[in-house]
């Protein structure tokens, strides 16, 4: 009987140690994801209006099928280069 109690106590300590380890891993992952999310939010603040306008225009082009996908990609790339040129 005492061996069984010791075994259960050891098992409980092991489970608690694993829970602490998993908690620490989750905290590290949340911190890492928070850093990436902050960087993404900063990027949205920088290009927010341009990104919104570009998304709307791209949506219209695709929805109305004005052009095939392959024909408007060069236009989008040119717009992106223009945006980056004037951004800096």
- Write down the pTM of the prediction: 0.44
In this structure, what DSSP letter does residue 1 have?
-
Which residues in 17-34 are b (16+ Cβ under 10 Å) and which e?
A: eeeeeeeeeeeeeeeeee
- What is the Cα–Cα distance from 42 to 38, expressed in whole angstroms? 6
pLDDT, position 25: 95
Spell out the domain ranges in the chain: 2-87
Helices (H) and strands (E) in the chain, counts: 2, 0
Q: Residue 61, Cβ neighbours under 10 Å: how many?
A: 16
Predicted confidence (pLDDT) per residue in 30-57, tens digit:
998 888 888 777 766 666 677 777 777 8
């Amino acid at each position: 009987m005492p061996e069984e109690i010791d075994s259960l106590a050891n098992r409980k300590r092991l489970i608690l140690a694993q829970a602490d380890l998993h908690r620490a891993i989750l905290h590290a992952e949340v911190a890492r994801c928070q850093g990436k999310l902050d960087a993404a939010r900063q990027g949205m603040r920088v290009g927010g209006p341009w990104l919104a306008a570009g998304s709307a225009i791209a949506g219209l082009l695709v929805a109305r099928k004005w052009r095939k996908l392959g024909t408007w990609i060069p236009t989008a790339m040119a717009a992106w280069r223009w945006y980056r040129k004037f951004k800096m």
